[in-house]
Structure 1
């Protein structure tokens, strides 16, 4: 079953029509660096720690940041295409009007982040940490979020479409008005009180009944 994607809109990154091709180097990414109005392709960084990085109006294509730490950074009007940000630390980051398209984000740490107008499309987000983050106008389109942690996150206009949420931890996250009918939610961990107002299919309702120790014959 396909969920309707017209319930709310997500602002796309506000990118200039012409972006300068930038040959980025590690020296350009020191603490509190500011990168703006750039198109960056095939940039590769691994295991580095950079605090308060500021990215604005930038596109990354085919780039990797495996195991890097960008805590307390700010990303505004940015697009990542076919990038690998596995095990990247973006804890306490501010991320606004950002797109992740066909990206590998396994184990990325977005806990306590402020997320607004974000689209994740066809991304691998297994084992992602979203705990205590604030979500406002976020869409997950055909993403694998299995075994991710949404504990105590705050949802406002969040959409999950044809995505995998199996064995996710969602305790303390209110799912009122969240439509999960097109998603795999097998083994989801959540408190009964957090399910109030959630939208599920009849089959999903039977699965969730296990949380209430109900036996259906």
Structure 2
């Protein structure tokens, strides 16, 4: 991870070096189930649904999630490496000290969620949902976030580095102080009040001028 890019102090997950393998079976995936101190690797999780499932100090590596609904999931000290979480439903999730590294989160639903000390690095998050969420101390590094949805969210100490935010939706989300200068924000949806105080390049300011209804020749 290119930590030098991150200006905000983000707490990293704390995992033991020697984690035992954990196998998930249908009979174990129940509401409020707790899994801790282990690793889940090289497998596919299919057709699982549970409410308020809890993962603590877990490493997911090379895991494919298919038709998985874990609403109100709680995760603390968790790392996802090279995982495919596309279209997973994590609505109303609570994430603290979580990292997503080289993951697919295409269409993943994290709306109405709380994210604290979370890093997304080199992830494909096209069409991902973060709307109505509360994000604090969160960094997106070299992520594909085209057409993602961050509307009506609360941002605090959020960073975007070299991300593609083409047509990402940021309406009714305060972007003051957020540095977009290394990102593609062409077509980004936002209200004029939302972008007040955002940090952009001259060319990006031209793109955002459409929010004022200006026609630049």
User: TM-score range, shorter-chain basis?
Assistant: over 0.9
- Distance (whole Å) between structure 2 residues aligned to residue 79 and residue 199 of structure 1: 30
Question: What SS class does the counterpart of residue 39 from structure 1 fall into?
Answer: strand
Question: What SS class does the counterpart of residue 56 from structure 1 fall into?
Answer: strand
Cα pair 1:26 1:45 within 8 Å, conserved: no
Structure 1 position 20 matched with structure 2 position 58: no
User: 1:201: which partner in 2?
Assistant: 201
Instruction: Please report how far the alpha carbon of residue 66 of structure 1 lies from its aligned counterpart in structure 2 after TM superposition.
Output: 2.1
> Could you report, residue by residue, the CA deviation over 1:108-127 in whole angstroms, capped at 9, with x for unpaired residues?
00011000000001001000
| Residue segments in structure 2 that go unaligned for 5+ positions in a row | none
TM-score (norm 1): 0.95
Cα pair 1:148 1:168 within 8 Å, conserved: yes
User: 2:60: which partner in 1?
Assistant: 60
User: 2:48: which partner in 1?
Assistant: 48
Structure showing the higher strand proportion among its residues: 2
Instruction: Please report how far the alpha carbon of residue 40 of structure 1 lies from its aligned counterpart in structure 2 after TM superposition.
Output: 1.3
Cα pair 2:6 2:159 within 8 Å, conserved: no
Computed over aligned residues only, the root mean square deviation of the Cα atoms, in angstroms, reads 1.2
- Distance (whole Å) between structure 2 residues aligned to residue 6 and residue 39 of structure 1: 27
Instruction: Please report how far the alpha carbon of residue 6 of structure 1 lies from its aligned counterpart in structure 2 after TM superposition.
Output: 4.1
User: 1:100: which partner in 2?
Assistant: 100
Cα pair 1:24 1:43 within 8 Å, conserved: no
Question: What SS class does the counterpart of residue 165 from structure 1 fall into?
Answer: coil
> Could you report, residue by residue, the CA deviation over 1:7-48 in whole angstroms, capped at 9, with x for unpaired residues?
212111011232112233233222211100001112212232
| Residue segments in structure 1 that go unaligned for 5+ positions in a row | none
- Distance (whole Å) between structure 1 residues aligned to residue 56 and residue 26 of structure 2: 17
User: 2:212: which partner in 1?
Assistant: 212
Structure 1 position 155 matched with structure 2 position 155: yes
Instruction: Please report how far the alpha carbon of residue 174 of structure 1 lies from its aligned counterpart in structure 2 after TM superposition.
Output: 0.4
- Distance (whole Å) between structure 1 residues aligned to residue 129 and residue 6 of structure 2: 27
TM-score (norm 2): 0.95
- Distance (whole Å) between structure 2 residues aligned to residue 13 and residue 26 of structure 1: 27
Cα pair 1:55 1:74 within 8 Å, conserved: yes
The number of aligned residues is 214
Instruction: Please report how far the alpha carbon of residue 49 of structure 1 lies from its aligned counterpart in structure 2 after TM superposition.
Output: 1.2
Cα pair 1:110 1:131 within 8 Å, conserved: yes
Instruction: Please report how far the alpha carbon of residue 5 of structure 1 lies from its aligned counterpart in structure 2 after TM superposition.
Output: 2.2
